[in-house]
């Protein structure tokens, strides 16, 4: 059984101008020890999915439909009190924005200690200190640096500290939202390697969120491509990068300049992503799609298997 199985998750934000349809009918599964990449451009709903999994949506954000099954248990109906037992231990998150996600007025070690104590209030202080030291070591920070404040850390170290915090309660699923994105490419590569090592070493299940397809390609076994609040293509990473089916996935892959291969003129997808307050009818990608047909403007396509087993695509071209 999958460690995490999301079925038809729909999360919207209530605003004065109406519902922002940020995540609609999202389904995916993450197996034990597997990394799934959630890819898509800014504003397509990636963080909304992440925050929904932990039920820590900002005011206005509401899960309107669907199930989030963690080892078979549905989290959607759980109360806030019950969710507190799940957070950090069942599912933990490395928040987007490494530079600001730590509290500037507390020592880094104390912030990690807090994450441990929230879950295990009875653990002795000396043991907490030991575990903090061990966690820091695990993520490649000299344990003596526990006494530093966040501003005394470089960007890469702050990102590592956030990963240590996410590991504090020994979770079964870790969600990493844009890890390393604001960091330099060398430091980013160090962070991604750390995440892969941790996954292999601790048998973690991971959801890696990124707007950068290359990062997902290098880190994940499985990929879900999101566009305007919906998953448009889902499956095994090798299949999707080798043989993308959805016109959006095809366009996105081509828009990424690769450092390997011939010098080419880059291509883009004409137009820009829609306003999620009022997304286009039918397929949300239809105004930008080079293969648009009549049906695309009327009927919303559903994710269906196409070609290889487990490779699903939501596009009228195939169904």
Partner 1 sequence: MDSKISTIDQNDTSSELPPQMGADEVLRVENLRKWYPLRRGFVETLFSKNEMNVKAVDLVSFSLKRGEIFALAGESGSGKTTLGKVLLRLVDPTSGSIFFHGKDITKLTQRELKPLRREMQIIFQDPFESLNPRMIIKEIVAEPLRVQKVAKSEAEVEERVKQVLTEVEIVPPEEFLYRFPHELSGGQRQRVAVARAFILNPSFVVADEPVSMLDVSIRAEVVNLMIDMVKKHSASIIFISHDLALAKHIADRVAVMYLGKVMELSTSEKVVDGPLHPYTQALIAAVPVPDPESKRTKDVISGEIPSPVDPPSGCRFRTRCPYAHERCSTEEPPLIEAEKDHFVACHLYT
* Member of 47, 159, 172, 314 binding Mg ion (CB under 5 A): 47
Cβ contacts of 157 within 8 Å, gap of 6 or more: 141, 145
- In the list Mg ion, partner 1, ligand ATP, none, the entry touching 13 (Cβ below 5 to 8 angstroms by class) is ligand ATP
Cβ contacts of 203 within 8 Å, gap of 6 or more: 32, 33
Closest C-alpha among 76, 80, 79, 46 to residue 63: 76
- In the list partner 1, ligand ATP, Mg ion, none, the entry touching 162 (Cβ below 5 to 8 angstroms by class) is none
DSSP 227: E
186 binds partner 1 (CB under 8 A): yes
255 binds partner 1 (CB under 8 A): yes
* Member of 25, 114, 218, 300 binding partner 1 (CB under 8 A): 218
| Residues between 198 and 217 that touch partner 1 (CB under 8 A) | 211-215, 217
As a whole number of angstroms, the distance between CA 38 and CA 49 comes to 9
Residue 185 CB, shortest distance to partner 1, in Å, is 5
290 binds partner 1 (CB under 8 A): no
Cβ contacts of 315 within 8 Å, gap of 6 or more: 232, 245, 246, 247, 283, 301
261: left (phi over 0), alpha (psi -120 to 50) or beta: left
**Residue 109 or 251 having the CB closest to ligand ATP:** 251
48 binds Mg ion (CB under 5 A): no
Residue 242 CB, shortest distance to partner 1, in Å, is 8
What letters, b where the CB count within 10 A reaches 16 and e where it falls short, cover 173-199? bbbbbbbbbebeeebbebbbebbbebb
Closest C-alpha among 8, 13, 14, 72 to residue 48: 13
| Residues between 88 and 147 that touch partner 1 (CB under 8 A) | none
Residues that bind ligand ATP (CB under 6 A): 13, 15, 20, 22, 40, 42-48, 58, 60-61, 96, 211, 276
Stretch that binds partner 1, among 113-121, 129-137, 234-242, 294-302 (CB under 8 A): 234-242
17 binds partner 1 (CB under 8 A): no
List residues near partner 1 by CB under 8 A. Answer: 41-42, 154-156, 184-190, 192-193, 196, 211-215, 217-220, 237-238, 241, 251-253, 255-260, 263-270, 272-273
């Amino acid at each position: 059984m999958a460690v995490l199985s999301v079925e038809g998750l729909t999360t919207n934000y209530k605003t004065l101008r109406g519902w922002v349809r940020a995540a609609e009918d999202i389904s995916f599964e993450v197996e034990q020890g597997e990394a799934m990449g959630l890819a898509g451009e800014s504003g397509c709903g990636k963080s909304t999915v992440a925050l929904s999994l932990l039920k820590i949506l900002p005011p206005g954000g509401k899960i309107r439909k669907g199930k989030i099954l963690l080892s078979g248990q549905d989290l959607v109906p759980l109360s806030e009190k019950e969710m507190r037992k799940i957070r950090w231990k069942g599912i933990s998150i490395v928040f987007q924005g490494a530079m600001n996600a730590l509290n500037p007025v507390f020592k880094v070690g104390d912030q990690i200690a807090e994450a441990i104590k929230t879950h295990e209030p009875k653990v002795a202080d000396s043991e907490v200190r030991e575990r903090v030291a061990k966690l820091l070591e695990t993520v490649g920070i000299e344990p003596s640096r526990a006494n530093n404040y966040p501003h005394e850390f470089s960007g890469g170290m702050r990102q590592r500290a956030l990963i240590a915090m996410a590991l504090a309660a020994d979770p079964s699923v870790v969600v990493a939202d844009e890890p390393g994105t604001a960091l330099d490419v060398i430091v980013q590569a160090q962070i991604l390697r750390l995440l892969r090592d941790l996954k292999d070493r601790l048998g973690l299940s991971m959801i890696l969120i990124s707007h950068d397809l290359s990062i997902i390609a290098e880190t994940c076994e499985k990929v879900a491509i999101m566009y305007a609040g919906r998953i448009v293509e889902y499956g095994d990473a090798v299949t999707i990068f080798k043989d993308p089916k959805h016109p959006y996935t095809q366009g996105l892959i081509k828009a990424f300049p690769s450092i390997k291969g011939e010098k080419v003129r880059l291509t883009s997808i004409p137009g820009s992503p829609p306003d999620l307050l009022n997304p286009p009818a039918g397929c949300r990608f239809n105004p930008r799609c080079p293969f648009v047909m009549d049906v695309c403007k009327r009927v919303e396509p559903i994710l269906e298997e196409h070609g290889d087993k487990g490779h699903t695509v939501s596009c009228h071209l195939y169904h």
